[in-house]
A and B are shown apart, each in its own frame.
Chain A
Amino acid sequence: MEAFLHQVLAGLATGGIYASVALALVMIYQATHHLNFAQGEMAMFSTYIAWSLISAGLPYWAAFALTVVFAFILGVVIERVVIRPVENAPVLAVVVVFIALLVILNSVTGWIYTYTIKTFPSPFPAQPLFGNKYVSSHELGAIGVTLAVLLLLYGFFRYTPLGLAMRAAAQNPDSSRLVGIRVGWMLALGWGLAAAIGSVAGMMVAPIVYLDPNMMGGILLYAFAAALVGGIDNPGGAVFGGFLVGVLENVLGAFVIGNELKLAVALVLIIGVLVVRPSGFFGKVYVTRV
């Protein structure tokens, strides 16, 4: 029982990270109907920036904040420079651009920082909090940080005029222009926010999986599974999916299929959802007359 509880809590911690990346994917999907395959590598690159800042002697939380800002700017710049020109291109062209971004970010990071695995510090104490034996401080802290990010985002989209304008621009670009919303900038802002969320996820997962240019590969796969389970166009669903995938992966890995097959859980989920219920648990079903 104790072991089970431990696995569930650890699953929630990684699940929060999947949830964040899934949310970043969904945000961009809602606005553009494209899946950003480079989302994970953008997060990985930002995490390396955080590592550089911390190595240069900055306190953890200062480096954390600077990295989030950097990631935001990186996202905006990528949208403006790389994505904007292919705005109206066929889907496959966009997919190729995303994959190119993935490869470029991955190899540039490897070139700058080498492929040697590095440790990344956790801001939370090494001893478990409150003397509990089920969950490490970092896991608990990661859950807390994830929840804080999700709450902040919810508040931003729900209660601020800019958040409302971003939702409007994603849904109905024509009408948005007619009320004076600069739709192109809203997209860039969406990319910035998605990258910022990703960077937080990267910094939270790096102490667990260690820092290396390929660290986000598996995580991106889990995040895809999470987004699909929740419904690719539903932010709340993506978050739910993230936590669900995190717990499933951990519990199944520990007690049923063994650690080696953990990643298969994500793949089985992706295929299963696509076959049985392509719109996910909470996604909208679109019916088109032909």
Chain B
Amino acid sequence: MALLEVTQLHAAYGQTRVLHGISFAMEAGTITTLLGANGAGKTTTLRALCAMVKTQGEIRFAGERIDGRATEDIVRLGIAHVPDGRGTFVNLSTEENLRLGAYTRKDREAVEADLERIYGYFPRLKERRAQQAGTLSGGEQQMLAVSRGLMLRPQLMLLDEPSFGLAPLVVRELFAILRAVNERERVSLLLVEQNAALALELADHAYLIETGRVVLSGTADEIKRNDAVRSSYLGY
């Protein structure tokens, strides 16, 4: 059974329809990426999964229908969304941001352990634990956003352009940690990226989205070798 199964998903912002019946699925423990140009509907797809935009169509998570539920309830099923723009609580401290990630969890001791584990992944966040999160650099805030997601101990993590605006070195560091999280903690990742080369390196499966529809899908290797993708998205 697929961990996430999306069938004929439509979404609109007011009168503007953005998704025109997207369908895709992903297995537990895998990394799947949604590729596409600006405005293709990648971010909207992630927002639709968390009920942050009005949708039609079917979304199943671990076999259960989740479309029509409130964002807060979807989060409680173990879906962490690392949003576009990082969603930092700018007036709160770094550590308060992380603790909010674990807001729905009742296992206090495990939360403390997870906090230390995350400081292990991102020592920079530990140095800045008491600092106001709004004063962190862009890269640090991205790490904070991913970490806040991890504090939920999610089954599935939705990542919206985690590489956006980051220096190449920081991106490499971040992606190495994402891989580690996936391999060690069996967190499934659904990754939206404009940087197709980067995303295909990390992912097992990929879907190519154009104007609100899936136009191509396959394993990351197949997609990488596809001539149209190579010329349009990978640039070689």
Question: In the bound complex, do residue B92 and residue A174 qualify as a contact, i.e. CB atoms below 8 Å apart?
Answer: no
> Nearest 10 A-B pairs (CB), nearest first?
A175-B87, A180-B104, A180-B75, A177-B71, A178-B81, A179-B100, A179-B103, A180-B72, A182-B72, A172-B89
The segment from A86-94, A163-171, A256-264 found at the interface with B is A163-171
Given contacts A161-B99, A164-B99, A168-B100, contact A177 B72 (CB under 8 A): yes
Residues of chain B contacted by A273 (CB below 8 angstroms): none
B103 touches A178 (CB 8 A): no
Interface residue ranges of B62-92 to A (CB < 8 Å): 70-72, 75-76, 80-81, 83, 87-92
Using A164-B92, A168-B89, A168-B92 as known contacts, say yes or no to A175 and B99 having CB atoms under 8 A apart.
Answer: no
Q: Which residues of B contact A175 (CB under 8 A)?
A: 83, 87-89
A181 CB within 8 Å of chain B: yes
Chain B residues with a Cβ under 8 A of chain A: 50, 52, 70-72, 75-76, 80-81, 83, 87-92, 96, 99-101, 103-104, 148, 152
User: How far does the alpha carbon of A183 sit from the alpha carbon of B80 in the complex, in Å?
Assistant: 17
Q: How far is the CA of A157 from the CA of B179 in the complex (A)?
A: 37
**A146 shortest CB reach to chain B, Å:** 26
Known: A172-B87, A179-B152, A180-B75. A165 touches B103 (CB 8 A): yes
| Complex: A175 Cα to B103 Cα, angstroms | 12
How far apart are the CA atoms of A168 and B72 in the complex, in Å? Answer: 14
A-B contact count (CB 8 A): 60
A161-B99, A165-B103 known; A179-B91 Cβ under 8 A: no
| Complex: chain B residue closest to A182, CB-CB | B72
Q: Which residue of B lies closest to A172 (CB)?
A: B89
B147 to chain A, nearest CB (A): 12
Contact A179 B104 (CB under 8 A): yes
Find out whether the CB atom of A179 lies under 8 angstroms from the CB atom of B75: yes
Give the secondary structure class of A's interface. helix
A174-B89 contact in complex given A161-B99, A179-B101, C-beta closer than 8 Å: no
**Contact residues in A for B71 (Cβ distance below 8 Å):** 177-178
Q: Which of A128-173 contact B (CB under 8 A)?
A: 161, 164-165, 167-168, 171-172
Q: Are B89 and A178 neighbours in the complex by a CB distance under 8 Å? A: no
Residues in B neighbouring A181, C-beta threshold 8 A: 72, 100, 103
* From B52, B70, B90, B152, contact of A174 by CB (8 A): B52
* Other-chain contact of B92, A167, A178, A180, A182 (Cβ < 8 Å): A167
Q: Is the CB of A165 within 8 A of B100?
A: yes
- Shortest CB distance B157–A (Å): 12
Residues of A within 8 A of B75 (CB): 177-180
Quote the shortest CB–CB distance from A169 to chain B (angstroms): 10
Q: How far is the CA of A161 from the CA of B96 in the complex (A)?
A: 9
Chain A contacts to B: CB under 8 angstroms: 161, 164-165, 167-168, 171-172, 174-183
Q: Can you list 30 A-B pairs with a CB-CB distance of less than 8 A?
A: A161-B103, A164-B99, A164-B100, A165-B100, A167-B91, A167-B92, A168-B89, A168-B92, A168-B100, A171-B89, A171-B90, A171-B92, A172-B87, A175-B83, A175-B87, A175-B89, A176-B100, A177-B75, A178-B71, A178-B81, A178-B87, A179-B101, A179-B104, A179-B148, A180-B72, A180-B76, A180-B103, A180-B152, A181-B72, A183-B72
Complex CA gap A175/B149 in Å reads 11
Q: Is the CB of B83 within 8 A of A174?
A: yes
Question: Which residue on A lies nearest to B83, using beta carbons?
Answer: A178
Taken together as a complex, chains A and B put the C-alpha atoms of A85 and B101 apart, in Å, by: 29
User: How many whole Å from B55's CB to the nearest CB in chain A?
Assistant: 16
User: With A and B bound together, what is the CA distance between A176 and B96 in angstroms?
Assistant: 12
- Whether B87 pairs with A174 at a CB distance below 8 angstroms is yes
Interchain CA distance A179-B104 in the complex, whole Å = 7
Q: Which residue of B lies closest to A170 (CB)?
A: B91
Q: Which of A161, A171, A174, A178 has the most CB of B within 10 A?
A: A178
Distance, CA A112 to CA B103, complexed state (A): 44
Which B residue sits closest to A174, measured CB to CB? B87
CB-CB < 8 A to B72: which residues of A? 177, 180-183
Bound Cα distance from A182 to B75, whole angstroms: 11
Question: Shortest distance in angstroms between A51's beta carbon and chain B's nearest beta carbon?
Answer: 40
Residues of B within 8 A of A176 (CB): 100
* Residue numbers in A under 8 Å from B89 (CB-CB): 168, 171-172, 175
| Residues on the A chain within 8 Å of B88, using CB | 172, 175
A178 to B80, CA, bound (A): 7
> Is A171's CB under 8 angstroms from B103's CB?
no
Query: Which residue of chain A has the shortest Cβ distance to B76 in the bound complex?
Result: A180
**Beyond A167-B92, A179-B148: 15 further Cβ-contacts under 8 Å?**
A164-B96, A165-B100, A171-B89, A171-B91, A171-B92, A172-B90, A174-B52, A175-B83, A175-B87, A178-B50, A178-B71, A178-B81, A179-B101, A179-B152, A181-B100
